[in-house]
Structure 1
């Protein structure tokens, strides 16, 4: 029987079989021993310390699912050992007839048991004997679920908590309130349940689209306080701390809809029906605002036994405050310089209340605006540099960079991916994240307590879609949070991830299987021209590509000589894996030429200038690295053709998505030059669409072409994001 099980496992996992352990996150030390250990429901779990009872009970439940119940089982012993340093550290020894988990605390024993369960699930025919010594890098390892935009059931949250514990993530950040819905019962304020918990309808598609479309269906709900207690008890049983987030002073539309007197204008307000940042926020000049929020927290705090209360504090526009008589009076009375200082006052006041209740306050990094509150913990999402600055001020910091640890971002650039918020955060990008670079000041290190992954739910309308976005990126995050610095190996992680696909399938998880997809890299080679290199992480694959009706086997980068489409597929042993790769190319005279930019692109759109002349048009999802984004700045580009060329047309592409603060250029100008110093303007027939500006003219000869696109500058009043810098998004500059 045992040999049959092992053979079946080998067939399932191929090269990822029992010869190598598949533990995630990777353990600090693994030493192989002789022999094999069988564990099943017949195992006796022995422990002397009563605090180990929880771990014993949960391990017993896992053992009940073993497929080797007909065989004798080894004995399992939990040992309290003060020599195992660290509350979450453990030593696990697996021998043919005995398993010992030693730790200085019940938490360490629990994590040792999770590792043992992983060994059982990835080696079902018997665990290879081994000795493991393990401990986490960071004390705080968190993951945030947003239930305000789309709400998930208690059953879903319990499964989510199970997986956090399984992968040694010790904190569940529960984002409970926002513009689109209030999700926690507050008995003193019934309108939060009757009004704030519901919105009249929900936007269809991406918010960038204009005009917005809606489904016409009322949406909402909330968790009763009894349900909250149930979730917290479940998490506590699994050593997962739960942090509630009650948003303030911004992201308050739902609360204002229920209680309009809490806003600066008095309303009327509505629970938001689409995604974004809204000008209507809690009035900071109104004492009743603080009374309301303190009363809310008086009901929230007793429900959550952990040390932290999260108050948000992010994305709070100051439009209403700057025009509100009460807020102006507050600023004058408290000697506050501006609305940013008013935000600091707001946060300080709430922190004082939270501290008086025996809790610590966490806020997103905007709480540093106007001066950081005395004891607050900063969750840095706008960049690790903000977190480092806060740590240097001796504030605890949790790093959570949007561009790497936001799992509502796309994980593939395939247009077949379901709609997501933005960006492109692939599995290896998450895995390669190093929270503390070598140049981090030593005095900041004690205050960087951990890292957190966040998944906002605007576009996650179903549990299956949410899981698709979480996994496997959550596994890569778990390893970054646990493993010591300089010990990561993506290829080894990827091997272990293959084994965990079967684990997640068995656990009923709808994970994404896109990390092995074909990836195309476009580069210009001076001697060969425009090149397309194809790759994937699949072993023993065969790649075939088709262009201009001809299909070939891929062996080296493809030279692109004319406009058209390239499609490619990959097969292993005759079976096609994943989606077809597709890339369009538009050839023109500027391909591969040197481009000099006066202003550098910024943020998530800081692409190299070469993407402006590589023959590839960026997708409408603007997450493929093909777009140069200029925040408030004009784009001024000079293209050097290396020698005089005859040109008759220039076509420039851009984005015009006002709901993303992306505006078309207000003016487009072209100039030519022979010396790169003296430029002459060129004019001609102009054709414009929503995404292109084309100018045709009498042919001229020139070595240099200058393109100037005028940025909108500041988003005008009445538009989304009014008062903020507009983005000018530019891609291919086609020259013919």
Structure 2
């Protein structure tokens, strides 16, 4: 039997070497200048029972070098002692999923707590080895002890909005294994498509798996445009089994998600009797939340869903079954006689309690099969089902609420871990969901700090990255959005909490580039691009700094709108911007431009840098300093650049102090009009002027905001002298019937105030 610790040379006798560029970083690691050479004479050996891991390691070596190495499942003397050994011993490695990897010139010894630890150690080997020549690999001398910070480390992939091939799913699973992610959350059903074969309900394949066409562009753009092409597909049960087995061999659990009670339009299209209105329904062709959901008043709904889940649980051995539970409008339930009767019979006070009843009933079926449900944090509404785990996506409130009830929580925070958000604000980026989550923000996320109360920490099971597919029309685009952000999430989930060195992480990401390329991964290269900040604002001028995380590069810039080159001005200190124009900058290394050219328009006017007061602060997620309204920077159409201020059930009422009496000939402001995002322009935009800041006289008013998008209101007026300008944008109020979000409160988004 293999001994767990193998060493022929003391640590003091070895010469230290630089750390390897591993992701995620291990708990502890020392490196030396020794090396182990994998050649055609190397034997790969493992305990009996580790045949799968042994075969995988053989396959990885053969794929990398072309060498089909001999393998054994017993430990025997081997000529020259040139061997790689895999061994499970929980007395030597004390942590679940942990491993110890020792590399000497004579052998590679991988000892683990369990089978998962063996696979994680193999992942580390794959990141460590390098080619000595075409047919020989070399590993650095090392002693690595490693185990995970969190037991749950997950990655989500939505295949409902856009469908991905089995080969892509397998490749994705390979990458999860490489970076020690142990749960694959497979989002299989939604309004836009049903992607799993259910033999008892064949119309889910023939009808629900297909939509007539797909929206082109962003959902905020009106009118919606479509491609006119039928779209869809589904995984057969044999394909599901194939994927689950493939993942299990790599110690990855596959969690299926079957959405309920909302996000059900595709299923209702196939079986309209399951809805409150009985249809007809149509599989959704665009993105959003839809009022038609599963009827909670008819027992046939529960029969259908229980039958579906029975087949799902036969295919997926996961102890977790995800039932969604998010974004379920109660509009249909409120007007459904069957749902109202259910509420009466069950003594339920409101529709939130009806949703809780729905989730509890489904949970009982799942529990009867020895499984537990996971749901998004909306399953808290009306009360949690026993044993339910919550994925907290809308912030930390859901996590705290669930943990206080002693339910486990998986942190999936939208503004940090949704990889369908933009990772760059450069205009060249393809259409994405709307938010902005750069690599640095993912790496900086700490789920325990976010949870707050330390007494709740034992209930934080782990974290997960989300990849919603509305705007992933190709597999290459999916990869672009996932990588390298998934690597940052993987390190936060695995490595000790004390590991937090973003510059070092960036260098390791760059070192991983050849490996990602070899796996045909189309990874984004945006993390080191130039960004900017407004350091200070003075009357009529800004001081702007440029930033990059690139090491050893210089920034060249222009302020006249021309393209910067290697001979353009060298950036050394914050730039004073005192007139309207476009700042452009490029990153240079060895006289060669790296990455894309940065550009930002600054509009300087009398309001720029002026003192501004608001009667009431913004009260939506679009918050910030009042100065955002007078900083010379117009908010983008993507509204993800932290330039817009948002107001709900409240007007914008601002007073700009120009500092002295000025002649005014034009006033204006930017307002957003995106009904599909519940963003409505004001009922009116009014400007008033004053000499003393107390008594105001009407100056100009706009009542029409016809542009779908940013309405840049510019109103010319007869010259008038004033020191103070009051700007009032009156909130539209409740969203009218027939519009998206009808009955809810509209949101008023305002940005740059213009005074000339």
**TM-score, length-scaled by structure 2:** 0.91
- Asked if the contact 1:40/1:73 (under 8 Å) is kept, the reply is no
Name the SS of the counterpart of 1:100 in structure 2. Answer: strand
**Aligned with residue 571 of structure 1, among 588, 591, 594:** 588
Q: Structure 2: 5+ residue runs without aligned partners?
A: 1-16, 70-79, 563-567
- Asked if the contact 1:203/1:215 (under 8 Å) is kept, the reply is yes
Q: Name 1:35's counterpart in structure 2.
A: 34
The verdict on how the C-alpha distance between 1:252 and 1:98 changes in structure 2, with shifts beyond 3 A counting, is same
Name the SS of the counterpart of 2:415 in structure 1. Answer: helix
Q: Name 1:436's counterpart in structure 2.
A: 448
* Separation of aligned partners in 2, 1:269 and 1:442: 48
Check if 1:105 corresponds to 2:114.
yes
Check if 1:714 corresponds to 2:703.
no
- Asked if the contact 2:257/2:324 (under 8 Å) is kept, the reply is yes
* Separation of aligned partners in 2, 1:638 and 1:439: 38
Name the SS of the counterpart of 2:449 in structure 1. Answer: coil
**Aligned with residue 663 of structure 2, among 646, 663, 673:** 646
Measured against aligned partners, the alpha-carbon deviations of 1:516-535 in whole angstroms (never above 9, x if no partner) come to: 21112233344993122222
Name the SS of the counterpart of 1:329 in structure 2. Answer: helix
The verdict on how the C-alpha distance between 1:627 and 1:293 changes in structure 2, with shifts beyond 3 A counting, is same
Alignment of 1:564-643 (within 5 A): 564-602=581-619, 604-643=621-660
* Separation of aligned partners in 2, 1:673 and 1:636: 15
* Separation of aligned partners in 1, 2:659 and 2:42: 76
Report how far residue 678 of structure 1 moved: 4.7
Alignment of 1:128-277 (within 5 A): 128-277=140-289
The verdict on how the C-alpha distance between 1:87 and 1:122 changes in structure 2, with shifts beyond 3 A counting, is farther
Shifted more, 697-706 versus 218-227: the winner is: 697-706
* Separation of aligned partners in 1, 2:212 and 2:253: 34
The verdict on how the C-alpha distance between 1:521 and 1:73 changes in structure 2, with shifts beyond 3 A counting, is farther
* Separation of aligned partners in 2, 1:651 and 1:374: 55
Report how far residue 487 of structure 1 moved: 1.9
- Asked if the contact 2:130/2:138 (under 8 Å) is kept, the reply is no
Q: Name 2:9's counterpart in structure 1.
A: none
**Aligned with residue 93 of structure 2, among 81, 84, 101:** 84
- Asked if the contact 1:40/1:66 (under 8 Å) is kept, the reply is no
* Separation of aligned partners in 1, 2:27 and 2:495: 7
Measured against aligned partners, the alpha-carbon deviations of 1:262-315 in whole angstroms (never above 9, x if no partner) come to: 110011000000000000000111111111101111111110011011000000
**Aligned with residue 502 of structure 2, among 476, 490, 505:** 490
Check if 1:728 corresponds to 2:748.
yes
Measured against aligned partners, the alpha-carbon deviations of 1:445-503 in whole angstroms (never above 9, x if no partner) come to: 11110111101001101111100110000000000111121321101101100011111
Report how far residue 568 of structure 1 moved: 1.6
The verdict on how the C-alpha distance between 1:182 and 1:675 changes in structure 2, with shifts beyond 3 A counting, is same
- Asked if the contact 1:54/1:237 (under 8 Å) is kept, the reply is yes
Check if 1:473 corresponds to 2:485.
yes
* Separation of aligned partners in 2, 1:61 and 1:116: 13
The verdict on how the C-alpha distance between 1:291 and 1:387 changes in structure 2, with shifts beyond 3 A counting, is same
- Asked if the contact 1:713/1:726 (under 8 Å) is kept, the reply is yes
Shifted more, 79-88 versus 398-407: the winner is: 79-88
Q: Name 1:96's counterpart in structure 2.
A: 105
Q: Name 1:4's counterpart in structure 2.
A: none
- Asked if the contact 2:669/2:753 (under 8 Å) is kept, the reply is yes
RMSD: 2.2
The verdict on how the C-alpha distance between 1:489 and 1:684 changes in structure 2, with shifts beyond 3 A counting, is closer
Report how far residue 547 of structure 1 moved: 2.3
The verdict on how the C-alpha distance between 1:525 and 1:730 changes in structure 2, with shifts beyond 3 A counting, is closer
The verdict on how the C-alpha distance between 1:627 and 1:589 changes in structure 2, with shifts beyond 3 A counting, is same
* Separation of aligned partners in 1, 2:451 and 2:485: 27
Shifted more, 571-580 versus 71-80: the winner is: 71-80
Measured against aligned partners, the alpha-carbon deviations of 1:55-88 in whole angstroms (never above 9, x if no partner) come to: 2211111222345969999421223222312211
Shifted more, 540-549 versus 673-682: the winner is: 673-682
- Asked if the contact 2:540/2:604 (under 8 Å) is kept, the reply is no
Q: Name 1:116's counterpart in structure 2.
A: 125
Shifted more, 549-558 versus 216-225: the winner is: 549-558
Name the SS of the counterpart of 1:418 in structure 2. Answer: coil
Name the SS of the counterpart of 1:646 in structure 2. Answer: strand
The verdict on how the C-alpha distance between 1:335 and 1:123 changes in structure 2, with shifts beyond 3 A counting, is farther
Alignment of 1:366-515 (within 5 A): 366-437=378-449, 440-515=452-527
Check if 1:51 corresponds to 2:63.
no
Report how far residue 626 of structure 1 moved: 1.4
The verdict on how the C-alpha distance between 1:686 and 1:144 changes in structure 2, with shifts beyond 3 A counting, is closer
Q: Name 2:25's counterpart in structure 1.
A: 26
- Asked if the contact 1:633/1:711 (under 8 Å) is kept, the reply is yes
* Separation of aligned partners in 2, 1:444 and 1:685: 51
Q: Name 1:295's counterpart in structure 2.
A: 307
* Separation of aligned partners in 2, 1:67 and 1:587: 60
Measured against aligned partners, the alpha-carbon deviations of 1:693-725 in whole angstroms (never above 9, x if no partner) come to: 333334444443332212222221111121222
Q: Name 1:9's counterpart in structure 2.
A: none
Check if 1:283 corresponds to 2:300.
no
Check if 1:693 corresponds to 2:713.
yes
The verdict on how the C-alpha distance between 1:205 and 1:51 changes in structure 2, with shifts beyond 3 A counting, is same
Q: Name 1:7's counterpart in structure 2.
A: none
Report how far residue 669 of structure 1 moved: 2.2
* Separation of aligned partners in 1, 2:281 and 2:520: 41
Shifted more, 442-451 versus 668-677: the winner is: 668-677
* Separation of aligned partners in 2, 1:405 and 1:41: 43
Alignment of 1:284-323 (within 5 A): 284-323=296-335
Q: Name 2:574's counterpart in structure 1.
A: 557
Name the SS of the counterpart of 1:37 in structure 2. Answer: strand
Measured against aligned partners, the alpha-carbon deviations of 1:661-697 in whole angstroms (never above 9, x if no partner) come to: 1111112122334554554443368885521233333
Name the SS of the counterpart of 1:24 in structure 2. Answer: coil
Measured against aligned partners, the alpha-carbon deviations of 1:122-165 in whole angstroms (never above 9, x if no partner) come to: 99863321111111111101111000000000000000000001
Report how far residue 42 of structure 1 moved: 3.6
Report how far residue 221 of structure 1 moved: 0.8
Equivalent residue pairs, number: 718
Report how far residue 622 of structure 1 moved: 1.3
* Separation of aligned partners in 1, 2:342 and 2:186: 32
Shifted more, 71-80 versus 665-674: the winner is: 71-80
**TM-score, length-scaled by structure 1:** 0.94
Name the SS of the counterpart of 2:171 in structure 1. Answer: helix
Report how far residue 239 of structure 1 moved: 0.5
- Asked if the contact 1:652/1:730 (under 8 Å) is kept, the reply is yes
The verdict on how the C-alpha distance between 1:677 and 1:466 changes in structure 2, with shifts beyond 3 A counting, is same
